[in-house]
Chain A
Amino acid sequence: MHQAIPYMSSHNNNFGNINENYYSNKKKENHASSKGEEKMILNMVSENAVIVIGKRGCCMSHVVKRLLQSLGVNPAIHEVEEEKDEVIVARELESIIEGNVQFPMVFIGGKLFGGLDRLMATHISGELVPLLKQAGALWL
């Protein structure tokens, strides 16, 4: 049963080229809504080159999103609405995350990458862009 999940679909923005946008959009559309709720998050993670999971209204998620967009990436965004959602998501992600679940978190290439700290650090050291290219989130 497909449940409408309030996650932001990518809006038109000026970053990145058209091909990218198209590709990323395609990925999101492929997100099969017939899959079970429980696996929804995991599926999203594995199907998107880059996905950001954050709390709704959190400004740090916004920062993460903006940073990725400035690099030409169009990340999928999943917003966790309330407390109970948070618990569900956390439970799901336990299988792939060790330790505490801290929002916002970024998944690249189906694997947990980290939070804003790690994103900043790898971006400054110049390692982020190659990583994104490797995951297929960025095209030259």
Chain B
Amino acid sequence: MIGAGNWKRLNWIMVCVENLVLYFLTNMDPSSSSQFVSSRNIGVYDPIHQFTIWEEHFKSNGDSSVYEPEMKLNNQSEDASFGILGTSIKYDHQEANKVTNKMQRRLAQNREAARKSRLKKKAHIQQLESCRLKLLQVEQELDHTKQGLYIGGGLDSNNLGFAGSVNSEIATFKMEYEHWVEELNRQMLELKGALSAHSSDIRIGELVNGLMNHYFKLFCMKSDAAKVDVFYVITGMWKTTAEGFFLWIGGFRPSELLKVLVPLIEPLTEEQRFDAYNLEKSCRQAEDALSQGMEKLQGMLVDTVAAGQLVEGTYIPQMDIAIERLEALASFVNQADHLRQETLQQMSRILTVRQTARWLLALGEYFQRLRDLSKLWTNRPREPA
């Protein structure tokens, strides 16, 4: 049923239609149609069609002012439908301006909408990035929790506690370490290729130096990370579980490595064998000295923490001293890495360039096997509990 208000509207619509028909009948002169951009409505005017459009508009627009609707009618033909209302309509510049204003407004609205959607997209991407980082951190924490459970049991002499907190700098270190490993593998592949291609000694020498510097770079990275969280570095949480099993002050034990790998680079001259043996011996002496220093530090730490009455709330001063002691840990990591660095360099002095290349490849291969072993171990099929 059509209500009273709607009758009024319907009436008005009919008036518009009449005017429209009248207008076109009286103004068929094409030159006067300059205000109407869209020519397809002229001459092919369908009042029923137009009526339907207006009707739909009124239905959806409810109370909007009666004299305005021509602005929002059928978009495509709005240019044509402007000044239809009223018999004494003046199609002058005012209408033309309305057209350009309309267009400008629309363009502005488009720009605004585009800008808003760009901002939204940016915000969405930023959110994704931060979620990704968070995910990475959570994954690492999970990783370390697992590793901590493995390592915690096997390194009583050097394990001064499982820190558990992985802040963003450590997360960065872990990521950088992953990249470091990738780069290491790439360099090793290159060296392998050069060796089998019988490249010149100079070329091999370059690659060997590059590889050694790459190891030294890791020591720098570790030093920086140790300043942030020395426990993380010294307990080797950034390594795989199998490597962690052989851990000595945050890394590999030089004498072990020499013992295992030197036999693999035979043939060696007598002098070389003698030098290598002495190097191994020197390493062991230095390692023992460092280990004993670490034990002393541990002892002092224990004494500091246990000093005074073991009554709750009275141990604050001891904690300060304890913190000082722990700061000495970072210098132990540095000294251990320094030892590793010196060992690598001394080996390169003892051996020829090609032998050094083979030795470094054996070194890298050894660590890779330990990493693979860790993966196999973690993924081994287990019987349900």
Residues on A facing B (Cβ under 8 Å): 57-60, 62-64, 66-67, 70-71, 116-117, 120-121, 123-126
Contact = CB atoms under 8 A, between A and B. Distances in A.
Interface in B336-352: 338-339, 342-343, 346, 349
B296 interface: yes
Contacts of B288: 66, 70
Given A59-B297, A120-B338, A120-B342, A126 B290 contact: no
A60 B286 contact: no
A71 B285 contact: yes
Complex A-B, nearest 8 residue pairs according to Cβ-Cβ distance, in ascending order: A63-B293, A67-B289, A66-B289, A124-B342, A59-B297, A59-B293, A70-B285, A66-B292
B339 A120 contact: yes
Q: Pick from A57, A67, A121 the residue with the most CB of B within 10 Å.
A: A67
B328 A59 contact: yes
Given A66-B288, A66-B292, A66-B293, A59 B342 contact: no
Given A59-B293, A59-B300, A67-B286, A124 B335 contact: no
A128 to B, nearest CB: 8
Q: Which of B278, B289, B293, B339 has the most CB of A within 10 A?
A: B289
B339 A124 contact: yes
Interface in B303-339: 328, 331-332, 335, 338-339
A56 to B, nearest CB: 11
B237 to A, nearest CB: 23
Contacts of B278: 126
Given A59-B294, A59-B300, A60-B293, A123 B285 contact: yes
A61 to B, nearest CB: 9
Contacts of B286: 67, 120, 123-124
B328 A125 contact: no
Interface string B334-375: 010011001100100100000000000000000000000000
Nearest to B292: A66
B102 to A, nearest CB: 78
Nearest to A66: B289
B258 to A, nearest CB: 11
A2 to B, nearest CB: 30
A63 B339 contact: no
A62 B279 contact: no
B242 to A, nearest CB: 27
Interface string B29-42: 00000000000000
A10 B334 CA distance: 29
Nearest to A69: B289
Contacts of A63: 289-290, 292-293, 335
B283 interface: yes
B282 interface: yes
Interface in B140-166: none
A115 B144 CA distance: 36
Nearest to A67: B289
Contacts of B279: 124, 126
